A and B are shown apart, each in its own frame.
Chain A
Amino acid sequence: MSAHGHDHDHARTVKPMVDEITEFEVLEIALRELCIEKGLFTAAQHRHFTEFAEHIGTTPAARLVAKSWLDPKFKALALSDPIAACKEVGVDWLEPTGFGTPSDFVAFKILEDTPTVHHVIVCALCSCYPRPILGNSPEWYRTPNYRRRIVRWPRQVLSEFGLELPEGVEVRVEDSNQKHRFMVMPVRPEGTEGWTEDQLVEILTRDSLIGVALPKAGVTTNVITKARPANNPIAAAGAPS
């Protein structure tokens, strides 16, 4: 007889299989199979898009900024024709369909920070993000909390990320509510004199390209947030964080 007063062995109870598959997964399979059956898209196209989503990441964006820091001519291109500059770091915004991704469009703009202007990006309406060059958006970027507060209390939100900016620096929030996607080009920090492109790429974190952090010599990771584990995580690199 167990402690809670009935007579069976919990350790031997077989969990029904259905508990292991969430409603979301059931519906995802139903929707995908119906779309393929009706010819809306093919299984090959689904795989093509999944592979695209799995190969994108922060590195091309970091390299684009590092190149700009080292080469004034490339920086001028990055600011005047960012789509062309992206090709130099291996990102073609017309991929993977020939006309861009349907949700990221082909209108990219790089926001140049100066000693007196600091940019930070948000999509208050949803989660628009320059995915082809910066990868998948962080979970916090998609939360109603960030989207509601950063437009109105940017300095308070930035301070929660550990970024305190003096009053003399204009904080400029960029709300990506239409077809433009934005990325921040931070000011090159002190202590990086003589660094190679690869060294500079390492400190250009995702957070510094969103604008919630400044690049700093010796800091090569994003702000540590409490990661919520997925039920069935994607094992590959490039999974949304």
Chain B
Amino acid sequence: GADVVRNKHHIEAKGIGDPQVFAGKADPAKFKVGDPVVVRDLPAMFYTRTPEYVRGATGVIAECAYESPAPEDETWNIEDAKPEWFYIVRFKQTELWGESYTGPANDTLQTEIPERWLAPA
């Protein structure tokens, strides 16, 4: 098996973990906890992990999560993909589903989004 072509991920992350292995490799975080953000509607041909239901919606940063290459790059094993900050973003359910949300106005949903998908609201 030594001649099998592999990426270096398992070597670099050993004893460290993923996403810890990418710590310190992203540019400084653009957003901080509490910032209002809007989810951009980027092209998502072939692969994305930003759900359709949050595109164009406004939420607030609940947590600066970690640094990692975006899944849109990582899934194709792009070795020199630059890590970026990921954020847990909190949305009001009424912002996501509008009038059709049947629960109370204070219900929320959180999901994790890489920086490229976010713009200041």
Contact = CB atoms under 8 A, between A and B. Distances in A.
Contact of A107 (B19, B53, B110): B19
Contacts of B16: 99
Interface string B1-29: 11110000110011111111100000000
B107 A171 contact: yes
Interface in A102-125: 105-107, 109, 124-125
Contacts, number: 112
B120 interface: no
B109 A100 contact: no
A154 to B, nearest CB: 7
B69 to A, nearest CB: 10
B65 interface: yes
B104 interface: yes
Nearest to B101: A152
A170 interface: yes
Nearest to A101: B18
Interface string A163-192: 000010011111111111000000000000
Q: Provide the main secondary structure of the chain A interface.
A: loop
Nearest to A172: B108
A98 B21 CA distance: 12
Interface residues of B, number: 43
B116 to A, nearest CB: 13
A185 to B, nearest CB: 15
Contacts of A97: 10, 14
A24 interface: no
Contacts of B73: none
A134 B20 CA distance: 21
A162 B79 CA distance: 47
Contacts of A172: 90, 107-110
B86 interface: yes
A177 B108 CA distance: 16
Contact of A100 (B2, B4, B18, B86): B18
A97 B93 CA distance: 39
A155 B109 CA distance: 12
A39 B1 contact: yes
B20 A106 contact: yes
Nearest to B19: A179
B15 A175 contact: no
Interface in B52-71: 53, 63, 65-66, 68, 71
Contacts of B10: 97-99
A42 interface: yes
A151 B109 contact: yes
A6 B1 CA distance: 58
Contacts of B15: 94, 98-99
Given A39-B2, A180-B88, A170 B106 contact: yes
Nearest to A170: B106
A8 interface: no
A125 B71 CA distance: 13
Nearest to B17: A106
Closest 8 pairs between A and B when the two form their complex, measured CB to CB? A39-B1, A106-B17, A99-B13, A178-B112, A175-B111, A98-B14, A173-B109, A167-B104
17 contacts: A38-B1, A94-B15, A97-B14, A98-B13, A99-B15, A100-B17, A107-B66, A109-B63, A152-B101, A173-B93, A173-B108, A175-B51, A177-B49, A177-B50, A178-B71, A180-B66, A180-B88
